[in-house]
Structure 1
Amino acid sequence: MTEPLVPSVLALDIGKKRIGVAGCDRLGLFANGLMTIDRKSLPQVIDELQRLVDEREVTLLVIGMPYLMDGTVGAQAKNTRKTGKTIAKALALPIVWVDERLTSFAAEELLKAEHISPSRNKGAIDRKAAAIILQQWLDDRRLT
């Protein structure tokens, strides 16, 4: 019996300066950091993501929502929601929001374990955070 294929998914860790992007294998088992987009403008971000969407035949965006530690929506979460909705609309893709509290911290810890300096590799943190967000979504999806 073969495993069912999952839709091609991209996960985004949206920040003011950079956007971490992750994807998964077709079985939906493992998330991988794909790239970090340096934000110069929203149209530039959308163009870069559109190429990935076309290449990977993406059908869904999983976007990390940076809630405050008490679970409320702060300024960063509002900005992420607005940017995420704009990106999703431009790419004509649905969104699933995932709580991303502490993913950047977890990504930094993973880099340290690999003997990579987080302070010198901000883009790597963003890619790993996006992969953590996507892996969380994949794992939750399998459990339900």
Structure 2
Amino acid sequence: MRIMGLDYGSKTVGVAVSDALGLTAQGIETIRYEQHKKHELFQRLEALIKQYGVERLVVGLPKNMNGSVGERGRESAAFADQLKKRFGLPVELSDERLTTMAVERMLIDADVSRGKRKKVIDKMAAVLILQNYLDQMRNGVAPQ
């Protein structure tokens, strides 16, 4: 079963997909969109879901460091609800605290230029969100 991981933002959505066995996550793309043209985002996601045969979606849930859910977290949860209604697939939220910072650190350590980092950071964050989810599932830990 293929699973798609999404790093939802107000202007971009990072997309990753698992391999068929659900062991590894690979980055697919970063979708740029405008709020007033959100239908274009959903059209692109629909095309990717069909292309990869996705059966489940995982959306990163940005929590505050104390575990509470703030405005960005509520927006991500609302986005997850929209996905569930639109595509009829199971959608889960997965704690994404510090994923963007971890990706930024990895890219800096790899000496990736600021311009290139900006182009791939959301896609890489989606990879981390999905890989953490897959690892938790494989280890019998309920994703958070």
* 1:107 equivalent in alignment to 2:103: yes
Is the 8 Å Cα contact of residues 80 and 93 (structure 2) preserved in structure 1? Answer: no
1:119 Cα offset (Å): 5.3
Aligned pairs for 1:56-67 within 5 A = 56-67=52-63
Deviates more, 1:115-124 or 1:23-32: 115-124
TM-score of the superposed pair, with normalisation by structure 1: 0.90
Residue type at the aligned position of 2:60: G
Which residue in 2 is equivalent to 1:19?
Answer: 13
Match of 2:22 among 9, 28, 31: 28
Is the 8 Å Cα contact of residues 62 and 96 (structure 2) preserved in structure 1? Answer: yes
1:61 Cα offset (Å): 0.2
1:48 Cα offset (Å): 0.2
Residue type at the aligned position of 1:65: L
- What are the ranges of 5 or more consecutive residues in structure 2 without an aligned counterpart? none
Which residue in 2 is equivalent to 1:39?
Answer: 33
Identity between Structure 1 and Structure 2 (%): 36
TM-score of the superposed pair, with normalisation by structure 2: 0.90
- What are the ranges of 5 or more consecutive residues in structure 1 without an aligned counterpart? 1-6
Give the aligned CA root-mean-square deviation in angstroms. Answer: 1.2
1:118 Cα offset (Å): 4.1
2-structure distance, mates of 1:101, 1:119: 23
Is the 8 Å Cα contact of residues 2 and 21 (structure 2) preserved in structure 1? Answer: no
How many pairs were matched up?
138
